[in-house]
Chains A and B, each alone.
Chain A
Amino acid sequence: MTTTTIAGVAVDTNDEGFFTDPTQWTEEMAPELAAAADIGQLTDRHWQVLHFMRDEYFEKGTGPTVRLLGKASGVSVKELYQLFPKAPAKTAARIAGIPKPRGCI
């Protein structure tokens, strides 16, 4: 576990850069986290995914996979890969301040 300073606040992250305590996250941290993940300006579509990620995490204890995001977040799988190129669920989890989602599908 490491302590990282994001938007002027010290937070706990693991060695992959995921938050270990999602309650430490605030919306003000998202732009800085997004920039670190090579995502430019966060749009409303990005935010829709980020809010969904956090809601799912707090409800179920784990973040959603791409499959679930595509099914239930209101953003299609195709668009997810446009908004968060490379690994959408992982990248969105990083920016939304939740642990890495675990799931095979």
Chain B
Amino acid sequence: MSDTIEKVSIIVSKGSLEGIYPALIMANGARAEGIDANLFFTFFGLDAIHKKRFEHIKVATVGNPGMHMATLVGGLPGMSALATHMLEKKMDEFDIPPIPEFVEMIADTGAGMYACKASVDLFGLSEDDFIEQVGSIITVGEFYEIAAGGEIIFT
């Protein structure tokens, strides 16, 4: 059984609902299989651990061909909120937790959570802006140290 994955480090760079969920599902799934997991939030991905924003993550209705919606329609006011509401309802039926609950649960599984220093500085944020589960704000170099010996997944 040498073909096993022992550790994954997942980079979350997008701040949309469809950008964040896959990373969370993969991190949670890794822990469920006994695989060590780290989440590294960078750029707009920081919204997933931002105290005031992680309850308001929206699905992108513009520039998202997967929505099968004309760009003009997708750009109408409230369209993103509507699409998000519909998707969240559907997800609840399948018992997929909302992002805040999911992030906290993943922290409880023992996964590491880190914010990218460059992005935190760029957006003028500080540790106080993030949920307490975030271990620390780290540099890209420190991320590679933490990720060493495992797989890195960029989302």
Whole-angstrom CA separation of A104 from B21 in the bound complex: 12
Complex contact B95–A81 (CB within 8 A) = no
Which size bracket describes the interface of B in this complex?
10 to 19
Q: Which chain A positions have C-beta within 8 A of B105?
A: 67, 70, 77
Which size bracket describes the interface of A in this complex?
10 to 19
Whole-angstrom CA separation of A51 from B105 in the bound complex: 23
Q: Is the interface of A mostly helix, strand, loop or mixed?
A: helix
A76 contacts B by Cβ under 8 Å: yes
A54 contacts B by Cβ under 8 Å: no
Whole-angstrom CA separation of A14 from B117 in the bound complex: 47
Whole-angstrom CA separation of A81 from B34 in the bound complex: 10
Q: Which residue of A lies closest to B106 (CB)?
A: A77
Which of the listed residues B25, B28, B32, B33 has the most CB atoms from chain A within 10 Å of its own CB?
B32
A75 CB to closest chain B CB (Å) equals: 12
Q: Which chain A positions have C-beta within 8 A of B110?
A: 81
Whole-angstrom CA separation of A76 from B34 in the bound complex: 17
A89 contacts B by Cβ under 8 Å: yes
Q: Which chain B positions have C-beta within 8 A of A87?
A: 31-34
B126 CB to closest chain A CB (Å) equals: 27
A7 contacts B by Cβ under 8 Å: no
Complex contact A65–B108 (CB within 8 A) = no
B97 contacts A by Cβ under 8 Å: yes
Q: Mark B29-53, 1 if CB is under 8 A from A, else 0.
A: 1011110000000000000000000
Q: Which chain B positions have C-beta within 8 A of A78?
A: 108
Complex contact A104–B108 (CB within 8 A) = no
Complex contact A76–B108 (CB within 8 A) = yes
B80 contacts A by Cβ under 8 Å: no
A residues neighboring B (CB under 8 Å): 65-68, 70, 76-78, 81, 86-90, 104-105
B residues neighboring A (CB under 8 Å): 25, 28-29, 31-34, 94-97, 105, 108-110
